[in-house]
Amino acid sequence: MRQRWPSRLWLIRHGQSAGNVARAAAVAAGEPMIALDVRDVDVPLSALGHRQAEAVGHWFAALPEEERPEVVISSPYIRARETAAAICRAGGVACGARGPIIDERLREREFGILDRMTTEGIRALHPDQAEHRRLLGKFYHRPPGGESWADVILRLRSALDTVSLHHADRRVLVVCHQVVVLCLRYILEELDEAGVLAIDKEGAVLNCGICEYAFEPDDERQCMPQLVRYNFTAPLEVDHAPVTAEPETITGAR
């Protein structure tokens, strides 16, 4: 028998972060390193990121009470926590909702020695890793001290087990990161390497873009995830918050 699932599950990448902005500036200038003076975990939202998170909160708040999230779970990274908090402040959750609950398993992929490097920086400073990644592909390449996508998927399977155990039949909102959203899609939709990389190739996960799943029993009474929408940005457009899709800070390790 399949495990029990929430009745509804939303996956949201955090709003635009200061790291996204710094990365864009570094790439534009051809710099090998991204100018950040804080840990990746401590990178906050940009001013635009706050607007995007608030816009998503307003969209959830406009839903009927019985359709809003009942549980909010967030990555411990500041940019995700700020996004989750903004959604809650905007009234985007049901009355008496739990959260934001912090779960470290939802953190972004760890980049190890490639932390804060642009793609050009990796090629210049760690050509061996650039070649290793080319041979293995991004799904299996694990930089020293960091994680592969497969490593991220391993911890996310555990996180989903916890969601199904503690929040079955409830409406759950998860605020996380670009690679995490893709890896959760890999698990929920039972994709393979080629399948998830094809989704990734189509375009980046949008900042505050909504990925939504419904869980309805099929004829065999198995509750299968049904993808309702992906990279949904109407909430941002309604609030006139610009849509952004910058990759995470470390593009070479993504």
Helix, strand or coil, per DSSP, at residue 210: strand
Q: In what order do the strands lie in the sheet with 8-13?
A: 98-102, 71-74, 171-176, 8-13, 210-217, 223-232
Tell me, letter by letter, the H, E, C secondary structure of 26-78.
Answer: HHHHCCCECCCCCCHHHCCECHHHHHHHHHHHHHHHCCCHHHCCCEEEECCCH
Specify the residue for token string 């960091």.
Answer: 146
Task: Compute the average pLDDT of residues 170-179.
Answer: 97
Mean pLDDT of 147-174: 96
Inter-residue contact 181 to 11 (CB < 8 Å): yes
pLDDT at 217 (0 to 100) = 72
Question: What is the longest distance spanned by two Cα atoms in the chain?
Answer: 56
pTM across the whole model: 0.91
CA 20, 125, 153 angle in degrees (round to 5)? 55
- Supply the pLDDT for residue 161: 94
pLDDT digits (tens, 9 = 90+) for 60-116: 999 999 999 999 999 999 999 999 999 999 999 999 998 899 999 999 999 999 988
Mean pLDDT of the chain: 91
pLDDT at residue number 53: 97
pLDDT of residue 247: 62
Q: H or E segment at 196? A: helix 193-202
Mean pLDDT of 115-139: 92
Rg (CA), the chain: 18
